[in-house]
A and B are shown apart, each in its own frame.
Chain A
Amino acid sequence: MNTRSILIVGVGGQGTLLASRVLGNLFVDLGYDVKISEVHGMAQRGGSVVTHVRYGTKVYSPLIEPGTADILLAFEKMEALRWIHFLKPDGRAIINSQEIEPMSVIMGTYEYPKDLEGRILKACAGTVFFDALSVAQELGNVRVANTALIGVLARLMDVAPEAWEKAIKAVVPPKTVDINLKAFRRGYNLEVS
């Protein structure tokens, strides 16, 4: 199989690393070669963060090049637009509706962009917006927003949900397995075309 690429983006502290761990576990379990690249250190402190996940028969580079990603999984709306040019022309985007203002906006140097959704749809018609934070809040733990988003991702991919659930169980803290699986199901049951 040709190498496939999933780019995960967000703001440092949002839990993007957990999403990449779930994907890593899943693809290893399915027998693929897998490479995941993430940046630690300074960028984690509330900055723009990105994780590259690639899988296939044989993966060379751990990095996704602009114009080549199959899927963009975004935890924040402006970050989605920042990285959307990494998608290939027929790529899909799954975007958490949350907005987090960067310091430059907080200070009034810039405005948080208006009509983000319109600009995103113009760049990628196959975009799914999903309010993962509200789902997580309804379930009583804002930290499970990332598993809810993974649920939407699972919906778009040709892998049985049981395999995803196994990967989630292997990665999340044991005490939070139930709530994470609930969040995953909420995302997975989203009606998407």
Chain B
Amino acid sequence: MKKLMLGNEAIARGAYEAGVRVATAYPGTPSTEITEFAAKYDEIYAEWSPNEKVALEVAIGASFAGARAMAAMKHVGLNVAADPLFTVSYTGVNAGLVVIVADDPGMHSSQNEQDSRYYARAAQIPMLEPADSQEALDFVKLAFELSEKYDTPVLIRLTTRVAHSQSIVTLGQRADIPLKEYKKLPEKNVMMPAMARKRHVEVEKRMKALARAASDLWINRIEMGDTSIGIIASGIAYQYAKEALPNASFLKLGMVNPLPQRLIESFAGKVKKLYVVEELEPVLEEQIKSWGIAITGKEIFPVQGELSANMIAEKIAGRAVDVRPAENLPPRPPVMCPGCPHRGIYYVMQKLRLHATGDIGCYTLGALPPLKAIDTCVCMGASIGMAHGMEKARGRDFSQRLVAVIGDSTFIHSGITGLIDVVYNRGASTVVILDNSTTGMTGHQDHPGTGRTLKGEAVPPINLVNLIRAIGIRHVRVVDPFELEDVEKALREETQREEPSVIIAQRPCALLSREVKAPVSIDEDICRHCGVCLHLGCPAIEKKIQGMHINHTLCNGCGLCLKVCKFGAIRRAGE
């Protein structure tokens, strides 16, 4: 059967067909849908783990216990999971273990564009890179075979354009893979120094064997065409190059670590001029050059952002496409939705002129005008540690005008340890947890605080207040972010305390809330055009020549603007 499938769905399908029993992840664009689709198969146990490190550890446990297992994450998630990754490279596996990592060249939804292929090299782990959905499905199945044959975890690298592109796949049957026997093998699975030293030797042997086998692996293939131009490429870069120069000769790499040296040398000998087309870092290029092969790559292609077919045609064939220049128009960056609960907190923070260390989620959008509510965004959980660091650097006077802002899912991911640090090291930070009862930015995934699992089972939700009290924080209060007076009182009082405190701003994400309220309107006779409502940064409130106007196709009736209008000019229909 043929079906149009998202690259991420094809990864999940590949896992299903490969007999995977356990799939784990923490949501992160562009990897999120992999595990959502995996969860739809009854045969696969799938979970949202609190973070990527735990996700990988669960998958390692499942593999050791004899079940094929997969963990999926975005590129920065692999940083969080790097600790287990580097050591599971030493232990190897029992049943197959595959780690999917989705890079984001061009940073469509990320804070950096690091190249995960370096992880494969640094951790000595084979890495496959599919170029479309069919390959995504096929490569997952191959990855499990390689994992068991070579006793190694296998990485599969996606990029946004493969993860989030749909193309046609042919579906197969699920393989019947029985649980492998579980044996206690301390020399293999207990990585204390004496054992690890021996395992490192095995890792080197394994990578050499894989490198030898790579030249005959079916996913590394030569497509001879016009021999004046030879192109080495993998993943989406192969598709762009093929689009730009369909008649050139290609060496398409399906495995990007280790590289098939013999095949590359043979291809280099067959073409007149050799190019390597790769997005981000010169990972292939530097290795190929180290073998004394003349090849052109980053001399003509950028290391930042995405490549494109037009760019490749121009740089290699000198064929510039005549394109009309883009029009100069007002930018339209993403914004917080109408009715977003974060807006209330940010409005008050701006009013009180507080500094704020921020974190990763929809609420990062609060850095943009008009709210301009947060000062920083580095990584998951960073807001709390950074607020503590700012206090230690600049003293208590400064930190009384500072809060850390973090979402509920992000707090559970890696905010808890930061908060423990504040308590332990006698800080007095105030942390605001924006609890919208979901993982919002990635498209509403459950987490330990929502009371539901990825498989849809009801579970007792983590009680944040009890958790925070247990850490040793005495001042925890829960507010509704739309009750602006309560929010202001809480922020004023808690930031003045000479001990750490937490404010939990609780209100469900506007896109989840089933509550439908009538939209509100501005009475033009009463409105004084003061513009205070515009400071909310609500996309439904527009500034027209004749005054403020509320767009009813966007307004969700949350009523926050009613509360900030000093003249009572905003009213709900029918009131």
Cβ of B144 under 8 Å from chain A: no
The 8 A CB mask of B236-271 against A (1 = contact, 0 = none) is: 100110110010000000000000000000000000
Given the known inter-chain contacts A28-B2, A65-B321, A79-B332, please indicate yes or no for A42 contacting B239, CB distance below 8 A: no
Cβ of A35 under 8 Å from chain B: yes
The A-contacting residues of B in range 330-344, CB under 8 angstroms, are 330-337
Closest to A83 in B: B326
Per the bound structure, the CA–CA distance linking A46 and B511 in Å amounts to 12
A12, B334: Cβ atoms under 8 Å?
yes
Per the bound structure, the CA–CA distance linking A82 and B167 in Å amounts to 27
**Contact stretch, chosen from A55-63, A146-154, A172-180:** A55-63
User: Which 6 A/B pairs are nearest by Cβ-Cβ distance?
Assistant: A41-B29, A41-B109, A47-B334, A110-B330, A62-B165, A102-B332
Cβ of B294 under 8 Å from chain A: no
A107, B29: Cβ atoms under 8 Å?
no
A46, B335: Cβ atoms under 8 Å?
yes
A65, B334: Cβ atoms under 8 Å?
no
Cβ of B30 under 8 Å from chain A: yes
Cβ of A193 under 8 Å from chain B: no
Task: Name the one of A24, A62, A85, A103 contacting B327, with C-beta atoms under 8 angstroms.
Answer: A85
Given the known inter-chain contacts A44-B334, A119-B327, please indicate yes or no for A62 contacting B161, CB distance below 8 A: yes
B441, A41: Cβ atoms under 8 Å?
yes
Per the bound structure, the CA–CA distance linking A36 and B336 in Å amounts to 27
The 8 A CB mask of B326-368 against A (1 = contact, 0 = none) is: 1101111111110000000000000000000000001001001
Closest to B321 in A: A67
Interface size class of B (residues with CB under 8 A): 35 or more
Closest to A87 in B: B324
Cβ of A141 under 8 Å from chain B: no
The 8 A CB mask of A82-99 against B (1 = contact, 0 = none) is: 101100000000000000
Task: Name the one of B33, B322, B336, B537 contacting A67, with C-beta atoms under 8 angstroms.
Answer: B322
Interface size class of A (residues with CB under 8 A): 35 or more
A15 to chain B, nearest CB (A): 12
A67, B329: Cβ atoms under 8 Å?
no
Per the bound structure, the CA–CA distance linking A59 and B335 in Å amounts to 34
Given the known inter-chain contacts A62-B167, A82-B326, A107-B534, please indicate yes or no for A39 contacting B334, CB distance below 8 A: no
Per the bound structure, the CA–CA distance linking A85 and B324 in Å amounts to 5
A61 to chain B, nearest CB (A): 4
Task: Name the one of A46, A100, A142 contacting B337, with C-beta atoms under 8 angstroms.
Answer: A46
Identify 18 new A-B residue pairs, CB closer than 8 A, beyond the known A45-B337, A45-B362, A106-B534. Answer: A12-B334, A36-B4, A37-B166, A39-B109, A41-B29, A41-B32, A41-B443, A42-B334, A46-B335, A47-B334, A63-B240, A65-B309, A84-B324, A84-B327, A106-B539, A107-B534, A108-B534, A109-B330
Given the known inter-chain contacts A37-B164, A107-B543, A142-B553, please indicate yes or no for A45 contacting B242, CB distance below 8 A: no
Task: Name the one of A35, A44, A82 contacting B166, with C-beta atoms under 8 angstroms.
Answer: A35
Q: Which of B242, B321, B332, B334 has the most CB of A within 10 A?
A: B332
Task: Name the one of B4, B239, B329, B539 contacting A103, with C-beta atoms under 8 angstroms.
Answer: B539
Per the bound structure, the CA–CA distance linking A28 and B34 in Å amounts to 22
Contacts between the two chains (Cβ within 8 Å), count? 186
B108, A39: Cβ atoms under 8 Å?
yes
Cβ of A43 under 8 Å from chain B: yes
The 8 A CB mask of B515-557 against A (1 = contact, 0 = none) is: 0000000000000000000100101011100000001011000
Q: Which residues of B contact A34 (CB under 8 A)?
A: 4, 166-168
The A-contacting residues of B in range 151-191, CB under 8 angstroms, are 160-161, 164-168
B441, A28: Cβ atoms under 8 Å?
no
Cβ of B369 under 8 Å from chain A: yes
Closest to A44 in B: B334
B168, A45: Cβ atoms under 8 Å?
no
Cβ of A105 under 8 Å from chain B: yes
B327, A43: Cβ atoms under 8 Å?
no
Per the bound structure, the CA–CA distance linking A37 and B333 in Å amounts to 19
Closest to A39 in B: B108
Closest to A62 in B: B165
Cβ of B310 under 8 Å from chain A: yes
Q: Which residues of A contact B541 (CB under 8 A)?
A: 106
Cβ of A132 under 8 Å from chain B: no
Closest to A43 in B: B334
Cβ of A112 under 8 Å from chain B: yes
Name 28 A/B residue pairs within 8 A (Cβ), A-sorted. Answer: A12-B334, A24-B166, A28-B2, A34-B167, A35-B166, A36-B165, A40-B32, A40-B33, A42-B29, A42-B109, A43-B109, A46-B335, A62-B165, A62-B236, A63-B240, A65-B308, A65-B309, A66-B324, A78-B329, A82-B332, A85-B324, A100-B554, A101-B539, A103-B369, A103-B539, A105-B543, A107-B534, A108-B534
Cβ of B442 under 8 Å from chain A: yes
B220 to chain A, nearest CB (A): 18
A42, B108: Cβ atoms under 8 Å?
yes
B534, A81: Cβ atoms under 8 Å?
no
Per the bound structure, the CA–CA distance linking A107 and B532 in Å amounts to 11
Per the bound structure, the CA–CA distance linking A35 and B165 in Å amounts to 7
B333, A82: Cβ atoms under 8 Å?
no
Per the bound structure, the CA–CA distance linking A34 and B168 in Å amounts to 7
B441 to chain A, nearest CB (A): 6
Q: Which of B161, B236, B327 has the most CB of A within 10 A?
A: B327
A11, B332: Cβ atoms under 8 Å?
yes
B323, A67: Cβ atoms under 8 Å?
yes
